[in-house]
Amino acid sequence: MKFWDEQVVPRCTDKMLSNRDVMQHRAKITAGLYGEVVEIGFGSGLNVPSYPEAVTTVYAVDPSLVARDLASARVAASSADVRYVGLDGASLPLDDASVDTALSTFTLCTIPDAEQALREVLRVLRPGGQFHFLEHGLSPDPGVAQWQHRLNGMQRHMCGGCHLDRPIEQMVRDAGFEITRIGHDSLAGPKFMQPWSYLYEGVATRSEAA
C-alpha cells in the first residue's frame, strides 16, 4: 500500500476536496485567520486561495512530497509567506506560544495520534489564539454512525489511515481548548455518502490563562 498511500491518495484528495461545495466551506473556516498561522495537514494547499489578507506567514505541516508538489502553484501565488516546517502534526517544530492562529481542514481524521496533534496546536498558540477547524467525523445520527463504524476499517486501508468516526468536537475540547463557535453541516451528495459527509466547523481558543 506504500505506493497507493504516497502517490494515489494525495492526488485523489486534491481532486475530491476541491469541488465548489468544499471550497465554500474552506472559505468560511479560514475567515478570521491572521498573523502567523500553523496549518496542520497542509496537503496540496487547497486553503491557500482562501487565506485572509491579514495572514502574513503560514507554517505548513504535511508528510506528503506529492502533495507539496501539487501545492507549488498555489503557494507561489500566495501573498502569505508559506514555509514548510514539519511532517507530523503530533510533533510541531515550533516554540511554545509562537503563532497567532492555527488551521486544520480534513486532517484530524487521518493523523494517527490526533489527540497529541491537538495538544501540540494548543502548545504553539499564543494565549487567546484561535484554532479554526473543518473536519468530517462521527455523525449524531445513530444509523449513519453505525455505518461509519462498519466502514472505518476499509476507509483507513484505502484512504491513508483516514477515520470516519472520530468525535471531533469532543477531541478538541478534551485537548484543552475552549470552543467559541461550532457548527455542523453535511457535504452535498447522495444519501449513501452520509458516512463521509458529516462536518464539524468550529473555532476554538487557547485560554489567556494557559
**Is residue 194 in a domain?**
yes
Mean of the per-residue pLDDT values of the chain: 96
CA 73 to chain centre: 20
User: 62 and 84 in contact (C-beta within 8 Å)?
Assistant: yes
**What is the Cα–Cα distance from 194 to 139, expressed in whole angstroms?**
9
CA–CA distance from 168 to each of 182, 183, 184 (Å)? Answer: 11, 12, 11
Q: State residue 210's pLDDT score.
A: 59
Q: State residue 207's pLDDT score.
A: 83
Q: State residue 2's pLDDT score.
A: 86
Binned at pLDDT 50, 70 and 90, residue 1 comes out as: low
Q: Closest Cα partner for 50 from 81, 14, 24, 20? A: 24
Number of structural domains (the chain) is: 1
Q: Which residue has the cell 445520527?
A: 141
**Is residue 91 in a domain?**
yes
Binned at pLDDT 50, 70 and 90, residue 111 comes out as: very high
91, three cell numbers: 510533533
CATH number of domain containing 109? 3.40.50.150
**Is residue 210 in a domain?**
no
pLDDT in tens, 79-101: 999 999 989 999 999 999 999 99
**Is residue 43 in a domain?**
yes
**Is residue 107 in a domain?**
yes
**What is the Cα–Cα distance from 173 to 204, expressed in whole angstroms?**
8
Binned at pLDDT 50, 70 and 90, residue 209 comes out as: low
For residue 110, pLDDT over 80 is answered with yes
User: 45 and 70 in contact (C-beta within 8 Å)?
Assistant: yes
Q: Closest Cα partner for 30 from 46, 18, 44, 43? A: 46
Q: What percent of the chain has pLDDT over 90?
A: 95
**What is the Cα–Cα distance from 115 to 174, expressed in whole angstroms?**
8
Q: State residue 208's pLDDT score.
A: 75
**What is the Cα–Cα distance from 195 to 169, expressed in whole angstroms?**
17
* Three-state DSSP state, 4: helix
> What residue numbers bound the domain in which 20 lies?
2-205
User: 102 and 121 in contact (C-beta within 8 Å)?
Assistant: yes
Q: Closest Cα partner for 144 from 189, 203, 204? A: 189
pLDDT in tens, 18-45: 999 999 999 999 999 999 999 999 999 9
What's the pTM value of the predicted model, to 2 decimals? 0.96
User: 152 and 165 in contact (C-beta within 8 Å)?
Assistant: yes
